[in-house]
Every structure is written in C-alpha cells, then in structure tokens.
Structure 1
Amino acid sequence: MKLQYIKAIGLIGMSFMMFSCTKKVLEKSPVSSFSAQDFYKTPSDAQAGVYGIYDAAQSVFRMNFAYWGEGRADNVKTAQSGEGLVLMQNNLNETASSANWAALYSMISRANFAVKYIPGVYGNEGGGAQLIGQARALRALAYFYLVRIWGDVPLITEPYTSTEQDIFVTKTKKELVLDQIEEDLKFAAANCVAKFNNSNDRIMFTSGGANALLTHVYMWRKKYSEALATSELVLNNSLYGLVSSMDDWSKIFTTSYSKESIFEVGYNDTETNSLRVLYAIGSYAIYTPSEKFKSSYEAGDKRISYLYDTTLVEPKAIWKFLGKGVSDEVSTPSKQNIVLLRLADIMLLRAEALNAIGGADNISKALELLNKIRKRAGVPEFASDTEAIEKYGDLESAILHERSVELAFEGHRWFDLVRTGKAISTMGPINGLSDERNLVWPIFIDVLNKNPNMVQNEYYR
C-alpha cells in the first residue's frame, strides 16, 4: 500500500502547524499555547502523530539529501549557479540554503511531542512502544544529519509547551548528541516492529531500519565492534536481500520498495520531491557526473549505463533515480522515493568494520562482502586482499571506492569522505578545502539573528 502515512497528514496538518514549535524556538519566535496533550487522546491520534514526523521528513530530504551528501564531494559537478555551485566551490556562508537547519528541527519537534504524549494514550499497557520507537528513530535520523553537517548543535528532547521554557538554546557537544542518537536507536531497535507485511516495511522504521542506521552511527564514531553486531542483525534479517540483476538494481531507485531497500523517504503524486530538478532536467540539471567519477569505474561495470548516458561526452542528466533514458527536458516534480538506507550500503560498512578490526579471518570476511557487490556489478572479484591493495592502495580504499560507485548520488559520498578522514585530501585539489574546521556547515543567518545564545561555527566567524 503506497504511503499509508500520507493519508493521515490531512488529519494532523493544522495541529502540527500549531504545536511544532522547535523551529520557531531556534528562531526566537513565540511558543505556541496549543496543548499537544489535547491532541493525543486515542491510538489513532498517536499513529497520526507519528505519521506527521514522516511528513516532516519528506520536506527535510526532498532536495537537501543531495546537497548535504553529494554537493561538497567529488562525484558530481554543476554548470549551474546557485546552491550547487556554492557547495562545489566550497564557498559556503551563512546565507546558503543548505545551511538552514529549520526543517530538521521541525521534524525533531514533532518527534518530541510524540515521545512525550504517546505513553499517556496507552497508560500502562505499553501498546505505544512501537510508535515511540519510530518517533525516536526519526528523531535520531534528524540529529544524525545535524551533527554530521554542523558538528555541535542544540540537543532538544522535550517539546516546547510553555512560555516559561528557555527558548534561547545553546549548542551541545556533538559527542553528547551522538550519545542521544545511540540511545534513541537502541530503543527503536528493541521496540519497533520487525515488519509491517506491506510496503510500509520500506518507508517506516522497523527494527531492521533502526539497526541499519545504528550501524552508520557506530561507523561514524569508529565503534567497529558495535557496528559488526548491528550490521549482522541487518544481514541476517529475512526482510532484506540483494537484488540479482541490473534491471532490478535500477528499480531500487526508480520503482522503490525493493527487497534490498531498508529505509526510504516516501513520496507520491501529491507529496513530491526535487530529484528531477537535481539530476535530470537537461542542461538545467543541478548535478551531473564529474569527470573524476566517470573515470573511476572499472572496465565492464554494468552499473554505469544505468547512471547516465555514456554516449555523451557531457552527460546532461543522472538517470539513477529516474530511469535509464529519462527525458532530459521534463521539469515535473518527481514521485520516486529517496532511498536513505539499503543492504549493499550496510554490507560495505560491515566490510569496513571487519577490515578496521583486522585479522586474517576478518579480512577474508570483508573481501567476501566486497566481492558480492563487485560480482553483481560485473567487475572481477578480488582473489585476495593483495589484489585489492595492488589496485587501490589498501583494502579500506577498495571498499570506499566500491561505496563511491555502488552508492553514487544517493547522499553518502561527502559523509564517507569526512568519516574516513579523506575529505581534505580528496577535495583539496578540486576546490581548495584545507581546514578541518571547514568540514562543517555554517549556521544559517536567521538562527544567528534571532537567538543571541547561538554562536557561529568557528571557521565562518
């Protein structure tokens, strides 16, 4: 059933406009007097409240998933002015649209209301635990983007319900934010359902989705043993499996709801996104494949012809999300889902973790995972880590190369470069990136102007 949660948005839209106030708090606006407790009366209200968080996620990721995850990295280029060029040239400033965290905090605000008030709906029955699990997973998702993009950020886990609360928030150390993210995801993994037995398995958080996101968090924090534990749970989950053919690989993105998908942000004809604007409107596409990216594929890689028109010296579109041979000139909004987590992604993270821990057995297991992805793509498997080292310098680089090509344009590349300490060495020759303090985004000007306690990130002062 396509996007069940969108059906509930009309029921709660006006309510959340009234009490979703974290965004306003961060911008020094009055706190609403609306009582969320009056909204959360029945299990249907609780479900609708969680749907509202997914609705907020649609707004968060409709375009920014690419700005945040690809725009500052080496796989894309742009011939356009505007935000895409600002990011590619590393000319970020406090007016950049991608520097505005308001939509993420709106998503967090809705989650905070759900976490606080859903228990009162169910009393001591515990029936709301799986809904609270989803709310906490979505809150963790928002905070994980915040901490990776801005570093230290305000940590708000209680809803704003009174004018007596302090609205001039300050930053929290990023490690403390990451601690909260872990806590939320552990709760979600323990309390979310294993499966919904319908398409919601891909567009709503299950225990598998929580473990997949937790794997990303552990890899960001270099907690490799913990990442092995959560990734094993994902790989052993019968809900997920690698697709075998390239046509099916393409459908992960163009048709959605693939067995390889773990979590997607759902869209439809009404709730649309900007994939076509980002990747496919002819000479007006914001991003096209970079020269470096086009030269990075190994001979015979079956993925490349599904990503862009290889017959053109200068491809005008990225086909991955919109389909092989998509018309370059159609400017209608896109309804394809945005895939944030999938099995190949988690397999390659697990391979990284195994390699980082080391030992002959772990290296062998890492190669096995890497080779499964390479085999599907039609490129030669590595007979040993020596072959990977000869080709890419070390096994970690071989795995990161595979992530670059397998997960191309899905919003992972910049975070992979930062996470592995390769952002400056990779991007320095391209756009002059040279300062560790420049890895985070600036804080948006409206936040600075309206909150006297908010301090600009050091590099941008």
Structure 2
Amino acid sequence: MKNIKKFIVVLILFQAYSCSEEILEKDPQSSFSAQGFYKTTADARAGVNGIYDALQSAMRINFSFWGEGRADAVDTRHSGDPLALKQNNLTQTINSASWNNLYEVISRANYAIKYIPSVFEEENDFSRQLIGQARALRALSYFYAVRVWGDVPLITEPYESVEQDFFVERTGKEMVLDQIEADLIYASENARESNGGDGDRILFTQGGADALLTHVYMWRQKYGDAIASAERVMNNDLYSLVSITNWNNIFSSGYSNETIFEVGYNETQTNSLRVLYALGSDSHYFPSESFRNSFEEGDLRETLIYDVTEEEPRKIWKFFGEGFNDESPDPSGNNIVLLRLADIILLKAEAHNALGETAEALQLLNRIRERAGLPEIDEQEAVNLYGDLESAILHERLIELSFEGHRWFDLVRTGRAIDVMNPINGLSDEGNLVWPIHEDAFNRNPNLEQNLFYR
C-alpha cells in the first residue's frame, strides 16, 4: 500500500513538471520524466526556462497576498483572501496558505540542478550559469516559504524513485535559510554578469542573486554581509535609478534600468495585477487611509501611485501609469517587479544605521528622497519626523516600494508587525506572524504538523 501511494505521488510530480523553449512561450511542453529529458544543451536551457514558467504561476497573485495583504498600506472590500488577510482571520483553507506553486518551482529547479551537469562532458561556464539560475530560483522560492510559513520541508533532490521518502517533515527555518544563502552565493559567483537585453531583467544574473542575497542577510540581521552584497549591486553597471518622470514606467513598461529582477509575463501568460490593484472601484486592494496620510508634502510619487483627487480612491494606478482608467477585468501582461535598485539602496541604508553608521545611512536615504522631490534630512530631522532614523528609512520603503510586495515582510523582520497591526486587526501573538499550512498539504503529507498558533 505504501509503495502504491508513492507511485501515485511520482506520477503527479512528473505530470506537473513542464518546461518551455522560451520563458514566455505559449505552448510549453509537459508530462515527461526529467530523467530522460536532459540530453542536449537545448534541453538544459529549456529546463531552466521551465522553472521561470513555474515562477510565473507562483507569483501571479501571491506576491501581493504574501507581501501586502496583511500589512497597513492596503484596504479592501473583497471577501476571500483579501478580507481574511486584512482582518487577520487566516485559516488553512485560504488560497494564500498553499505552498504548492512554490514547491513546483523548487521541484523543477531540483531536476535542473541534478541533470544539467550530465548534459556536458565537463563543467563549463555555460553549465554553471544555468545551474546558477536554477539555484537562485530555488532560493527565491524557499525564501518566500520561510517568511510565510517558518519551518518548511527542505527538499534539494528530485523525486525519481518509489524508494525515496515523499513524506518529508518540516525543516528548521535557519537550516533552510542556510541553504538559501548557499544557493545564492553560488548564483552570485556563477550566473552571468549580463544575459543581454531583456534577459538582464527577467533572468537571474549575478546582480539579481546579490540583490536577493541582500534581502536574506537583512532578514537574518547580518548587516555587514548585507552591505557587501548591496555594494556589489550598486556598483553593477546594469542598474541605475530612473528619473521621477519615468518612475511609473518601471512597472507599466518593465525592463527599466532600475529593475534587477522581474517576473516576465505577456498577453498569454498573465498575472492578476489588474484585479489586485486597478479594476476601477472593484479591485482587491486600494490605498488605506493611513497610507494616504503618510505622505510628506511635496512628495512627487503620491500622484503617481493613486488618484489624489478622489476622497476615497478605490484603485492603485502605480503599475499602469498616472491617470489609468481602464475598467477591464482582463488579466494583466505587465511584468511583476520583485527586486529593484531603490529597494537595495534603502536596505543598505538600514544596514548602515543598524551598525551605527549614520552618515552612510542618511546619504542613501536622501538619495531616494531627492528623486521624489523631497528635501534632504539630517538625523535630528529624521527623529523629529519619524522618531528615529530606522523609522525614517522604513517609512521611505513604505512609500517608495508601495504595493510591490515588501511591506509585510519589512514589518516582520524589524519586529514592528504587532505594534503596527494590532490597532488595525488585533494581531498580538508572534506565532500568528506566519501563515497556517493549507489543508491540502496535510492530505499529501501526513508527516506535517500545523503551525502552533493554528492548531
């Protein structure tokens, strides 16, 4: 009976695995065993593209549910996940409690990491850069998983035999983070410096690995390491801040010089940006009152984010351009920007401040403020405005990175989630900072245990 169950799991896993010749190919191949797939360099490239294809599904709506839905910048009138997250009424049946799409990315990455070396007679730069991309994508998926659920099953080998243990218990989050760091360090050293053209934005490069590594180091409060990885990003010629006049284009057009990594979509492979933010008076999310009241006078970004002429704006036009007024409920072909230079600059400012390096922190903070049309501030002005310099930096992240999927994670990693959200929805228990594990996971794996708060 046990082997029959394992055989069924194998069939499900192999059937789920698919890849494409190009990342945005309309008709990806599917239903094959990876053991027999990796024969040529074209197969190796297609296998890695298949990981990006899985990432599209994982991020299409959850980047916002996970990164914004439980935080203070959004409000909602919608039932389902938007309301459950906003009210902190999480259950094991809400859609965002499922990690299936992330583990699909991880599964495809594991196949690629194992089998790409067999395609080449000897290790070379091409094989290493493909493996670097696969390891960066695996790291990205596990980083979301750790931040959302805490301890998660750490799986680094593909499932290929009924003799393997399919019912893996959860691994301590610090061990998972160690694996994430190892994967990203490999990618930082072995991915390409540049993939050329649009590939510099929708494929992982060394800069993309360094940017994600900066986030991981900040999550783990490794401030010196975060500064070092951030400096590699900031010294990378691929990246530069765009002018404020082109700020919306980062999101509406994609592929800007400020972007470090974005998930690519098109008219066929779409996401939920419209439904999330821009569907007239019926989008999932609109700017909360506290968010609208948090702008400093003269901030040029405010009118680029939402319609300030409305007393109660019901959409966010940051991702589609100022004045966007399309009521269509159609899915969006916009890319989703996950990492960009302003984000890394502000993380570096935060790291310097944590180490008592105030001058460096202020210089970086003011670089972002100046682009937004705001005056430079010194430490005392930061204290007067926001209480301390760290709070000033986090406020800048709230505005600059609004609705991009960072706010909830910023609140959690800085220990501010309960203080900020308790008056809004009663959040009071640190065990409640993670999501419940979806009931489907328990149906698949009887060795899992639910997060303590939700038992």
Q: How does 1:1-80 map to 2 (within 5 A)?
A: 5-6=22-23, 10=27, 13-14=29-30, 17-18=31-32, 34=33, 36-80=34-78
**Pairing partner for 1:364 from 334, 359, 368:** 359
Q: CA deviation at 1:160?
A: 0.1
- Given that 2:92 and 2:438 are in contact with CA atoms closer than 8 Å, whether structure 1 keeps it comes out as yes
1:170 aligned partner: 169
Report the AA paired with residue 64 of structure 2.
A
Distance 2:374 2:181 in 1: 36
Partner of 2:321: 323
Shift of 1:95: 0.3
Contact in 2 for aligned 1:317/1:328 (Cα 8 Å) = no
SS at match of 1:49: helix
Judge conservation of contact 1:9–1:55 (CA < 8 Å) in 2.
Answer: no
Work out whether 1:273 is the aligned partner of 2:284.
no
Distance 2:351 2:305 in 1: 28
Q: Distance between the aligned counterparts of 2:317 and 2:224, measured in 1?
A: 37
C-alpha displacement of 1:96? 0.8
Residue among 366, 369, 372 paired with 1:374: 369
What is aligned with 1:137? 136
Q: How do 1:8-407 and structure 2 match up within 5 A?
A: 10=27, 13-14=29-30, 17-18=31-32, 34=33, 36-126=34-124, 127-244=126-243, 246-358=244-356, 362-382=357-377, 384-407=378-401
Number of corresponding residues: 435
Q: Percent identity?
A: 62
Q: Distance in 1 between matches of 2:264 and 2:435?
A: 27
Contact 2:210 2:230 in 1 (8 A): yes
* Letter in structure 1 aligned against 2:415: G
> Segments of 4+ in structure 1 off by > 6 A?
none
Q: TM-score, normalised by structure 2?
A: 0.94
User: Structure 1 CA distance, aligned partners of 2:411 and 2:24?
Assistant: 38
Q: Rate the CA distance shift 1:129–1:9 in 2: closer, same or farther, 3 A.
A: farther
Which secondary structure state, in structure 1, belongs to the residue aligned with residue 61 of structure 2?
helix
Structure 1 position 321, deviation (Å): 0.8
Using the TM superposition, give the Cα deviation of residue 6 of structure 1 relative to its aligned residue in structure 2, in angstroms. Answer: 2.6
Contact 2:272 2:332 in 1 (8 A): yes
Contact 1:9–1:52 (CA<8 Å) still a contact in 2? no
Check whether the contact 1:288–1:318 (CA below 8 A) recurs between aligned residues: yes
> Post-superposition shift, 1:9?
6.7
- Gapped regions of structure 2 (runs ≥ 5): 1-19
Unaligned stretches of 5+ residues in structure 1: 19-33
Matched residues in 2 for 1:183 and 1:13: separation? 30
Partner of 2:17: none
Matched, 1:456 2:431: no
Q: What CA distance in whole angstroms lies between the structure 2 residues aligned with 1:455 and 1:52?
A: 31
CA distance in 2, matches of 1:4, 1:309: 41
Matched with 1:443 is 437
Deviations 1:188-237 (A, max 9, x none): 00000000221110000000000000000000000000001100000000
Contact 1:66 1:410 in 2 (8 A): yes
Q: TM-score, normalised by structure 1?
A: 0.93
Do 1:4 and 1:200's aligned partners in 2 also have CA atoms closer than 8 Å? no
Moved more, 302-311 or 175-184: 302-311
Alignment-derived partner of residue 428 in structure 1: 422
Q: Deviations over 1:67-118 (max 9, x none)?
A: 0000000000001111100000000010010000000000000000000000
Deviation of 1:4 (Å):
8.1
CA displacement at 1:316 relative to structure 2: 1.7
Paired residues of 2:349 and 2:393 also in contact (CA < 8 A): yes
Note the C-alpha offset of 1:63.
0.4
* Conservation of the 8 A alpha-carbon contact between 1:281 and 1:317: yes
Aligned residue identity for 1:150: W
| Partner Cα separation in structure 1 for residue 362 and residue 248 of structure 2 | 24
Name the CA distance, whole Å, in 2 between partners of 1:188 and 1:5. 21
Matched-pair contact (CA < 8 Å) for 1:63–1:274 = yes
**CA deviation vs aligned residue, 1:303-338 (integer Å, no higher than 9, x gap):** 010111111011121001112111252111111100
